[in-house]
């Protein structure tokens, strides 16, 4: 009977050995912690008080080098936040085992200025190693790009973590095409709890930057397969675009998204009213009645545009996946174990640090010892679970004995 109960209980319990169990427990705690992350302003006031100044400085230099860097970095916020939340997933380079977002259709040969984010990260790692996430760098830098182009200023909420992975098809499935119509865009933005007003205001980001001929040739020559150009394009503007983007020409040639491409202003909306939108997804906002009223409003009231844009950027910056994350050391790759450290040790350690909510740099290398209270809590949870496990084991062996006895009785009879 003893043997019988052992064969029943031991293999199962051995499989759920204490280390595995502890690991699952920690993962759960970390996920709960990640899901509960609340973003707030001034997040780095202790861990890295100069974080925002450092990013602003890098952006200033990058935009002096090339004004378009502002637009290109600002666009990163949109492409990051819409795909699994603002988690810097789009910054991960491909690896042999992971196809990231960079080569997805909406991003390839189009997103640029990744190296500006790298520069900011490098400067931040020097000033406060391991403290500031790449996801937060994107949010700060996007705001700075707007300010430095003459747009509104605002306080950004910070405290995001960087993803541990990325998936090319996620970007392919989510990011809208330049061909999209207003109905589709209203619907897409509503899936992210962004209103019609948010959509129109955020599209005003196209007040700065450029787009490729690749993104507009269909509307110049064959709108919706009609064999004709988009009738919403004003004729003189169409002639200009056709010259820039002839049939069979280089799809990588770029044109300005509005007439004052380095200045963040409401000229974009004035252009839309005059049929001079660059992308189909721009001009459609004036064709469709629900969005047209906001285009009209913003074209005559720049203050209204700025306020709605700031509100939209903050709402878009709030998108989070709730998945566990980390503070990447290099925005292009997930953190790796130090040499000699096993992968398991490394991940567990990261998970514990995340669960406790403090980085090594904030508390010194003995973070786990320093945070005595939380360690005590963790240990007591483990002890409690161990106790429950033992009760289950007893119940299990009791049931085993019971079944065995029943079998014995039946067999004897």
Ligand X SMILES: *[C@@H]1O[C@H](CO)[C@@H](O)[C@H](O)[C@H]1NC(C)=O
Spatial CB neighbours of 135, under 8 Å, sequence gap ≥ 6: 80, 86, 87, 88, 160, 161, 162, 163, 325
Q: 83 labelled as ligand-binding?
A: yes
Candidates 4-12, 36-44, 160-168, 245-253; binding stretch for ligand X (CB under 6 A) = 245-253
Cα 209–Cα 238–Cα 280 angle in degrees, nearest 5? 55
Q: Is 324 in the site for ligand HEM (CB under 6 A)?
A: no
Task: Please spell the DSSP secondary structure of 13-36, one letter per residue.
Answer: HHHT-HHHHHHHHHHHHHHHHHHT
Measured CA to CA in angstroms, residue 404 lies from 13, 407, 408 at distances of: 20, 5, 6
Kind of pairing between the strands at 210-212 and 254-256 = antiparallel
Work out the angle between the directed axes of helices 289-300 and 280-287 (0-180°, nearest 10): 100
Q: 258 labelled as ligand-binding?
A: yes
Spatial CB neighbours of 36, under 8 Å, sequence gap ≥ 6: none
Give me the count of residues in the chain.
413
Q: Is 96 in the site for ligand X (CB under 6 A)?
A: no
Q: 206 labelled as ligand-binding?
A: yes
Work out the angle between the directed axes of helices 114-127 and 134-148 (0-180°, nearest 10): 110
Using DSSP, state whether 158 is helix, strand or coil. strand
Which of residues 56, 68, 102, 219 is near ligand HEM by CB under 6 A? 68
Residue 193 contact partner, candidates ligand HEM, ligand X, none, CB within 5 to 8 A by sort of partner: ligand X
Q: Would you give the binding string for ligand X spanning residues 57-86, x where CB under 6 A is met?
A: ------------------------------
If one counts every other C-beta atom within 10 angstroms of the C-beta of residue 343, the result is 9
Residue 131 contact partner, candidates ligand X, ligand HEM, none, CB within 5 to 8 A by sort of partner: none
**Cβ proximity to ligand X, 251 vs 364, nearer residue:** 251
Q: Quote the strand ranges of 97-225, DSSP E.
A: 210-212
Residues 75-134 that bind ligand HEM (CB under 6 A): 75, 77-78, 110, 112
Torsion angle, alpha carbons of 382, 388, 392, 398, to 10: 130
| Number of residues forming the site for ligand X (CB under 6 A) | 13
Which of residues 41, 153, 193, 380 is near ligand X by CB under 6 A? 193
Which of residues 150, 231, 246, 251 is near ligand X by CB under 6 A? 251
Using DSSP, state whether 136 is helix, strand or coil. helix
Residue 184 contact partner, candidates ligand HEM, ligand X, none, CB within 5 to 8 A by sort of partner: ligand X
Which of residues 85, 100, 130, 209 is near ligand HEM by CB under 6 A? 209
CB 239 within 8 A of CB 229: no
Q: Is 212 in the site for ligand HEM (CB under 6 A)?
A: yes
**Cβ proximity to ligand X, 9 vs 110, nearer residue:** 110
Q: 87 labelled as ligand-binding?
A: yes
Which of residues 7, 18, 41, 109 is near ligand X by CB under 6 A? 109
**Cβ proximity to ligand HEM, 168 vs 205, nearer residue:** 205
Q: H/E element holding 55?
A: helix 51-65
If one counts every other C-beta atom within 10 angstroms of the C-beta of residue 296, the result is 15
**Cβ proximity to ligand X, 21 vs 114, nearer residue:** 114
Residue 220 contact partner, candidates ligand HEM, ligand X, none, CB within 5 to 8 A by sort of partner: none
Residue 150 contact partner, candidates ligand X, ligand HEM, none, CB within 5 to 8 A by sort of partner: none
Residue 160 contact partner, candidates ligand HEM, ligand X, none, CB within 5 to 8 A by sort of partner: none
Q: Is 139 in the site for ligand HEM (CB under 6 A)?
A: no
Distance, in Å, from the CA atom of 24 to the CA atom of 392, rounded to the nearest integer, reads: 18
Q: Where along the sequence are the contacts to ligand HEM (CB under 6 A)?
A: 68, 71-72, 74-75, 77-78, 110, 112, 176, 178, 180, 185, 202-203, 205-206, 208-212, 215, 257, 279, 281
Q: Where along the sequence are the contacts to ligand X (CB under 6 A)?
A: 109, 181, 183-184, 192-193, 214, 222, 225, 227, 250-252
Q: Provide the annotated active-site residues.
A: 79
């Amino acid at each position: 009977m003893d043997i019988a109960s052992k064969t029943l209980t031991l293999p199962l319990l051995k499989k759920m050995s204490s280390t595995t169990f502890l690991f699952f427990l920690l993962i759960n705690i970390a996920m709960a912690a990640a899901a509960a992350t609340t973003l707030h302003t001034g997040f780095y006031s202790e861990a890295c008080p100069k974080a925002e100044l450092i990013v602003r400085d890098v952006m200033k230099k990058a935009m002096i080098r090339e004004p378009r860097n502002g637009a290109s970095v600002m666009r990163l916020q949109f492409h990051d936040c819409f795909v699994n939340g603002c988690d810097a997933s789009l910054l991960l380079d491909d690896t042999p085992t992971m196809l990231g977002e960079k080569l997805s259709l909406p991003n390839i040969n189009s997103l640029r200025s990744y190296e500006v984010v790298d520069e900011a990260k490098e400067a931040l790692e020097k000033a406060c190693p391991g403290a500031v996430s790449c996801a937060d760098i994107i949010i700060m830098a996007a705001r700075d790009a707007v300010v430095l182009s003459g747009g509104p200023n605002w306080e950004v909420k910070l405290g995001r973590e960087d993803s541990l992975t990325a998936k090319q098809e996620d970007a392919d499935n989510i990011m809208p095409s330049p061909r999209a119509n207003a109905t589709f865009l209203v619907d897409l933005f509503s899936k992210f709890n962004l209103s019609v007003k948010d959509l129109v205001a955020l599209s005003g980001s196209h007040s700065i930057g450029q787009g490729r001929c690749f993104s507009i040739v269909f509307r110049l020559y064959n709108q919706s397969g009609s064999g004709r150009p988009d009738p919403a394009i004003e004729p003189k503007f169409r002639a200009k675009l056709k010259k820039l983007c002839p049939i069979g020409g280089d799809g990588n040639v770029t044109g300005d998204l509005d007439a004052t491409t380095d200045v963040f202003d409401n000229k974009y909306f004035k252009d839309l009213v005059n049929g001079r939108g660059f992308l189909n997804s721009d001009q459609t906002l004036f064709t469709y009645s629900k969005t047209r009223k906001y285009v009209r409003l913003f074209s005559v009231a720049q203050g209204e545009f700025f306020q709605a844009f700031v509100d939209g950027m903050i709402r878009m910056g709030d998108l989070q996946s709730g998945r566990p994350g980390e503070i990447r050391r290099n925005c292009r790759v997930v953190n790796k174990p130090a040499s000699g450290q096993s992968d398991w040790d490394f991940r567990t350690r990261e998970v514990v640090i995340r669960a406790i909510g403090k980085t090594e740099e904030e508390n010194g290398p003995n973070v786990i010892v320093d945070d005595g209270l939380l360690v005590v809590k963790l240990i007591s949870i483990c002890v409690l679970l161990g106790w429950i496990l033992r009760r289950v084991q007893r119940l299990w062996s009791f049931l085993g004995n019971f079944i065995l006895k029943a079998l014995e009785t039946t067999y004897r009879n």
